[in-house]
């Protein structure tokens, strides 16, 4: 009623304490909020007592009015609080309605245009175009699948070609299949095929090695020509020659051993297995006088067959070398080795297109030299003094680079000849005439002498030359060394101009400066990069592993030792780290070659040192050394393009010296001063008992001592 609304309005307008208002709201029973279908009137009527009291009813009514007023005020406050959000949401609804109307118009237009399109292009025409496109895609896919199917079946043809010993054809087919497979590398089945083809290629190499060994006893021109052609296709002609030498050595050893063993077993009357484990020298002692001549005859016949094969092999190579040396037009034909080396390179080695590696110091020196030359044009009487100061500037630069990156007392005292006598003389001269050493000042020295000296250079603490991950500061070494080499090249270009400004009586000074200082700048590469090579590979680990190998074996081994794989793994990691460094600083080709040459030379000398530590070694053990070294060379040639392999003959000559007789061994000791006294002495001691007696041993050791005496 109107009266009730007025009362309710009055209650809402009364000032209410928020806390009291909240208490009123909390006093409302929860049943009023249970659900929307709740009947409040029915609930209130049910709560009335049987006997009604007017005063109690009015009090109860007033309580409910206060609760209603509190709820109404709370609702009104919430509505006012949410008013901005409500307005904003209403605007969004209005905007959505407008967009929906626009979308309806667009759909209507699209349906109208679609009807027009159906009249011009029938569904059949569109289906025909779709089918044609699908047909083209499937045709291309079918062609690819047929090619892949053919590639998958090539293993059968390869097996047939290997049975027919058509090695060149098998290699050519395998290489063509690899090339074709690279075209379809986006198919998942091709990765397995590539692995299979690589395994097949390795299998061909193994069978090729077996075929090469057969020529040592029965030489056939067509067979040998196929084998050599196959090695040529693989790009491993040098490996073929090395393997051939090893096979001839094994053929001679096996042939003479089998012939003598047959006669020994015949004389003994039984096939005792103890004879098969004997050394060849001990086996010969069991030949009886009656069987001596027949055995020697058969032995000569067997060796004659091997020598005949060797002779025919030599004739074949002489004939083919003549054909290769015949004049042929070569215009426009690039070197195959050059192309292969460029393809293998992980980083650019093209010096012609690459900018020089320079430091700010180098540029500043070049600028100063230019200013000094302008000064000499104006003040010719002091031209000699200016050139003398320029030479001192270059001397200090060279000495600083050597002091920072090339000085290492450990390697310099090793006798490896890292620094030439000319370079050492130059460095000593610079140190004595230009560098003021700490604590070396003499109190009576002339003031003018001390005035021209400068403090020794010091390397910045920010430069780290000890981290193996950066190849012991290789980037900094390359930048410093190649900057110095570039500066020396610029001085070479200026020599004629400086000579024209030099007084006639002082020209010998300029010539001496160029011959003793400028020309030695490039020689710093050897000691600087040698330090990197000496630390990049763990040569001591290789020596320890070689010491654990048993060399006094009694049978020819077909598997190389594990230390070879460990050493090759070290070279692979070195190659990867070199590639990582090249991503930050360009590694020029001469630097790369010097690094590889140093590492290989150190590895080969470590091999000789490891072989020289052997206490006992048989013929079969020496053959195992050859097998290890040939395996090392074969895998190493895949990592580097350095040809020929440095110190290759140093290792081969030492291993083959085991087979020398007493007289030849004495001549070997006199001629090969490159081996240490320890290595030569070990060679003599290991041969003791096999083909050198104790008397000959004393004689040879005395010869070694005579060679060593002048050095003491």
Average pLDDT in the 175-201 region?
73
User: In Å, what is the CA distance from 23 to each residue of 59, 64, 71, 483, 696?
Assistant: 18, 13, 11, 89, 122
pLDDT digits (tens, 9 = 90+) for 260-282: 888 888 877 765 657 777 777 88
pLDDT at 568: 92
| 497, 530, 563 - which closes a domain | 530
Do both 163 and 195 map to the same domain? Answer: yes
- As a whole number, the mean pLDDT across the chain is 80
Q: Is residue 355 part of a domain?
A: no
Same domain for 75 and 212, yes or no, is no
Q: Percent of the chain at pLDDT above 90? A: 9
Q: Which residues contact 182 (CB under 8 A, 6 or more apart)?
A: 194
User: 5 falls in which pLDDT band (50, 70, 90)?
Assistant: low
CATH number of the domain at 687, please: 1.10.357
Q: How confident is the model at residue 564 (pLDDT cuts 50, 70, 90)?
A: very high
Find all residues with CB under 8 Å of 519, minimum gap 6, and list them. 488
Residue 381 is predicted with a pLDDT of 84
List all residues 6 or more positions away from 379 whose beta carbon is below 8 Å from its beta carbon: 386
pLDDT digits (tens, 9 = 90+) for 284-314: 888 888 888 888 888 888 888 888 888 888 8
Under the banding of pLDDT at 50, 70 and 90, the label for residue 170 is confident
- Report, as an integer, the average pLDDT of 647-665: 86
- Looking at the predicted structure, is the pLDDT value of residue 444 above 60? no
- Note whether 74 and 216 are same-domain residues: no
Residue 91, in any domain of the structure: no
Do 525 and 585 reside in the same domain of the chain? Answer: no
User: What is the distance of C-alpha 267 from the center of its chain?
Assistant: 59
Tokens of 38: 């709740």
Same domain, 70 and 192: no
With bands split at pLDDT 50, 70 and 90, how would you rate the model's confidence at 328? very low
Angle, CA of 200, 206 and 210, to the nearest 5°: 140
Taking alpha carbons only, the member of 25, 4, 5, 30 closest to residue 75 is 25
Q: 411 and 549: one domain? A: no
118 within a domain of the structure (yes/no): no
Q: Does the structure show a pLDDT above 80 at 373?
A: yes
Place 485 in a pLDDT band, splitting at 50, 70 and 90. Answer: very high
Last residue of a domain, one of 530, 552, 583: 530
Dihedral angle computed from the Cα positions of residues 483, 487, 488 and 492, in that order, rounded to the nearest 10 degrees: 150
Q: Is the pLDDT of residue 411 over 80?
A: no
For residues 679 and 608, the answer to whether their CB atoms sit within 8 Å is: yes
Cα 389 to Cα 454: distance, rounded to the nearest angstrom: 13
Let me know if residue 337 belongs to a domain. no
Q: What confidence score (pLDDT) does residue 125 get?
A: 73
- Cα separation, 286 vs 313, whole angstroms: 35
On the question of pLDDT at 20 being above 60, the answer is yes
Within a domain: 109: no
- Establish if 638 belongs to a structural domain: yes
pTM above 0.85?
A: no
- Domain of 472 in residue numbering reads as 360-530
Both 542 and 689 in one domain: the answer is yes
Q: What integer pLDDT is reported at residue 334 of this predicted model? A: 31
How far is it, in rounded angstroms, from Cα 579 to Cα 558?
34
Q: Can you read off the two tokens belonging to residue 582?
A: 């090249």
Tell me: pLDDT of 103 over 90. yes
Least confident of 22-31, 515-524, 610-619, 656-665: 22-31
Question: How far is C-alpha 489 from the chain's CA centre?
Answer: 31
Statement to judge: residues 519 and 624 lie in one domain: no
pLDDT 10s digits, 106-153 = 999 999 888 877 776 666 677 787 888 888 888 877 877 777 777 666
Which of 482, 501, 530 delimits the end of a domain? 530
The answer to whether residues 447 and 556 belong to one domain is: no
Within-domain flag for 50: yes
Q: Residue 344 has what pLDDT?
A: 41
Residues 313, 243, single domain; the answer is: yes
Residue with more model confidence, 658 or 344: 658
512 contacts: CB under 8 Å, gap ≥ 6: none
Alpha-carbon distance of 151 to 451, in angstroms, equals 80
* 297 and 226 assigned to the same domain: yes
**Which pLDDT value is given to residue 350?**
43
**Distances from the Cα of 20 to the Cα of 23, 26, 405, 406, 471, angstroms:** 5, 10, 88, 92, 81
Same domain for 433 and 310: no
- Does 212 or 341 have the greater pLDDT score? 212
pLDDT at residue 29, as a whole number:
74
Least confident of 41-45, 315-319, 470-474: 41-45
Domain count, the chain: 4
Residue with the bigger pLDDT between 444 and 510: it is 510
Q: Is residue 349 part of a domain?
A: no
């Amino acid at each position: 009623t109107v009266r009730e609304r007025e009362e309710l309005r009055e209650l809402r307008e009364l000032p209410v304490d928020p806390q009291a208002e909240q208490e009123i709201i909390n006093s409302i029973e929860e049943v009023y909020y249970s659900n929307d279908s709740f009947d409040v009137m029915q609930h209130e009527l049910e709560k009335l007592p049987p006997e009604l009291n007017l005063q109690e009813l009015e009090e109860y009514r007033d309580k409910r009015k206060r609760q209603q007023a509190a709820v109404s005020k709370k609702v009104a406050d919430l509505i006012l609080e949410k008013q901005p959000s409500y307005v904003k949401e209403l605007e969004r609804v209005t905007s959505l309605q407008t967009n929906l109307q626009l979308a309806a118009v667009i759909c209507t237009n699209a349906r109208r245009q679609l009807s027009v399109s159906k009249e011009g292009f029938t569904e059949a025409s569109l289906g025909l175009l779709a089918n044609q496109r699908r047909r083209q895609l499937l045709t291309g896919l079918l062609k690819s699948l047929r090619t892949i199917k053919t590639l998958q079946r090539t293993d059968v043809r390869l097996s047939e070609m290997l049975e027919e010993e058509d090695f060149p054809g098998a290699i050519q087919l395998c290489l063509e299949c690899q090339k074709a497979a690279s075209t379809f590398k986006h198919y998942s089945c091709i990765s397995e095929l590539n692995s299979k083809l690589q395994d097949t290629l390795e299998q061909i190499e193994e069978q090729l090695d077996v075929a090469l060994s057969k020529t040592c006893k029965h030489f056939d021109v067509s067979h040998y020509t196929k084998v050599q052609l196959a090695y040529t296709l693989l790009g491993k002609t040098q490996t073929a020659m090395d393997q051939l030498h090893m096979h001839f050595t094994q053929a001679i050893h096996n042939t003479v051993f089998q012939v003598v063993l047959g006669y020994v077993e015949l004389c003994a009357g039984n096939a005792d297995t103890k004879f098969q484990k004997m050394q060849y020298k001990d086996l010969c002692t069991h030949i009886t006088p009656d069987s001596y001549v027949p055995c020697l005859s058969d032995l000569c016949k067997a060796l004659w067959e091997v020598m005949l094969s060797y002779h025919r092999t030599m004739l074949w190579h002489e004939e083919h070398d003549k054909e290769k040396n015949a004049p042929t037009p070569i215009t426009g034909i690039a070197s195959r080795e050059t192309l292969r080396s460029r393809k293998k390179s992980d980083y650019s080695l093209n010096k012609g297109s690459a900018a020089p590696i320079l430091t700010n110091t180098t540029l500043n020196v070049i600028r100063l030299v230019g200013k000094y030359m302008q000064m000499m044009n104006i003040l010719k009487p002091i031209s000699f003094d200016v050139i003398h100061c320029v030479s001192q500037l270059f001397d200090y630069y060279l000495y600083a680079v050597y002091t920072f990156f090339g000085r290492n007392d450990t390697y310099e005292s090793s006798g490896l000849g890292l620094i030439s006598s000319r370079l050492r003389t130059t460095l000593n001269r610079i140190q004595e005439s230009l560098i003021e050493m700490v604590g070396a000042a003499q109190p009576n020295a002339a003031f003018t002498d001390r005035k021209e000296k400068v403090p020794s250079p010091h390397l910045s603490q920010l430069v780290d030359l000890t981290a193996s991950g950066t190849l012991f500061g290789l980037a900094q070494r390359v930048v410093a060394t190649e900057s110095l080499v570039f500066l020396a090249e610029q001085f070479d270009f200026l020599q004629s101009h400086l000579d024209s400004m030099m007084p006639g009586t002082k020209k010998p000074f300029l010539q001496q400066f160029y011959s003793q200082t400028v020309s030695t700048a490039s020689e710093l590469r050897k000691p600087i990069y040698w330090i990197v090579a000496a630390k990049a590979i763990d040569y001591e680990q290789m020596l320890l592993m070689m010491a654990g190998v048993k060399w006094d074996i009694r049978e020819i081994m077909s598997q190389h030792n594990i230390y070879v794989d460990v050493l090759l793994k070290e070279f692979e990691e070195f190659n990867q780290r070199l590639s990582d460094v090249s991503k930050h600083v360009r590694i020029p080709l001469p630097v790369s070659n010097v690094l590889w040459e140093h590492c290989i030379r150190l590895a080969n000398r470590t091999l000789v040192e490891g072989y020289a530590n052997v206490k006992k070694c048989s013929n079969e053990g020496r053959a195992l050394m050859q097998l290890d070294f040939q395996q090392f060379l074969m895998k190493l040639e895949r990592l580097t393009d350095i040809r020929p392999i440095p110190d290759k003959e140093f290792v081969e000559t030492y291993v083959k010296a085991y087979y020398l007789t007493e007289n030849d061994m004495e001549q070997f000791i006199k001629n090969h001063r490159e081996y240490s006294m320890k290595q030569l002495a070990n060679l003599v001691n290991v041969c003791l008992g096999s083909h050198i007696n104790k008397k000959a041993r004393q004689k040879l050791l005395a010869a070694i001592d005579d060679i060593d005496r002048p050095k003491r």
